[in-house]
C-alpha cells in the first residue's frame, strides 16, 4: 500500500515539474456538465451529462552529436623508492 502511494506521489510530482518547465501543456477544451438525476418509484435515472475534454501538447527532446576535442589526462605509476631499488638489484644479479 505504501509503495503504491509513493508511486502515485512521484507521478504527481513528475507531472507538476513537466508543466512548470513547459514540457507539458494541458488546456481544457470542453467543460464538464453534471447529469440530470431523477428518482422514481422504479429507481434512479440519470440523463445527459458531459465529461471534460483536454488538449495536451508535449515538448520534444532532441539528441544530437558533434565533434569535440577533449584533453585526456595522462596516467603515470611511480613505484615506491625501495621497490625500485630492489628491482634494480634483482636485475643485476
pLDDT attached to residue 18: 87
DSSP calls for the chain: -HHHHHHHHHHHHHHHHHHHHTSEEEEEEE--BPPEEEEETTEEEEE--B--EEEEEE----------------------HHHHHHHHHHHH-
In a domain, 68, yes or no: no
In a domain, 20, yes or no: yes
In a domain, 29, yes or no: yes
In a domain, 63, yes or no: no
Low-confidence ranges of the chain (pLDDT < 50): none
In a domain, 19, yes or no: yes
Domain that residue 28 falls in: 1-33
pLDDT attached to residue 80: 78
In a domain, 43, yes or no: no
pTM: 0.44
In a domain, 86, yes or no: no
Q: What's the domain count of the chain?
A: 1
Amino acid at each position: 500500500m505504501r509503495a503504491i502511494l509513493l508511486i502515485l506521489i512521484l507521478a504527481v510530482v513528475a507531472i507538476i515539474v513537466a508543466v512548470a518547465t513547459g514540457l507539458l501543456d494541458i488546456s481544457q477544451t470542453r467543460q464538464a456538465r453534471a447529469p440530470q438525476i431523477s428518482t422514481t418509484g422504479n429507481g434512479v435515472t440519470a440523463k445527459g451529462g458531459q465529461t471534460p475534454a483536454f488538449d495536451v501538447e508535449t515538448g520534444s527532446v532532441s539528441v544530437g552529436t558533434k565533434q569535440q576535442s577533449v584533453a585526456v589526462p595522462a596516467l603515470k605509476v611511480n613505484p615506491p623508492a625501495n621497490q625500485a631499488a630492489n628491482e634494480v638489484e634483482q636485475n643485476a644479479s
